[in-house]
Amino acid sequence: MSVAIAEISPSVAGIGARIVGAHPPIEAHATRIGYRGAVLNADTGFAEGDHVWVELNTPLGMVRPLAEVVGLGSGWLSVRYVHLFPDHRRTLESHLATEATASGY
């Protein structure tokens, strides 16, 4: 199963991230985040279908979804959120709404 980039809009550039399901954790950079998934710049050994915990460090707080790897490329991976705790979902939604308002859309 793959998720097209358009399905994870709105996008927000420049969010620090870590893949914490790996040992040791893998530093990443979220180039796009949305309500249902994210695209991370990171070199990993993951395969499509793998599940990972991802930490997204938004200005409003940390969001830590359990995610499924749905796309891979050279130096990047896209993930679909499988589970978000309710307080993390609220933080993510507030962050995306704030960024959208600041961007004018």
**pLDDT tens across 37-64, in order?**
999 998 778 899 999 999 999 999 999 9
**Which residue is it, tokens 């994870």?**
8
Computed over every residue of the chain, the mean pLDDT equals: 83
Distance (Å) of CA 10 to CA 13, 59, 92, 96: 10, 17, 12, 7
Question: Which pTM value belongs to this model?
Answer: 0.79
Query: Both ends of the chain: CA-CA distance in Å?
Result: 29
Range 5-103: architecture per CATH: Beta Barrel (2.40)
What are the residue ranges spanned by the domains of the chain?
5-103
> Residue 65's pLDDT is what?
96
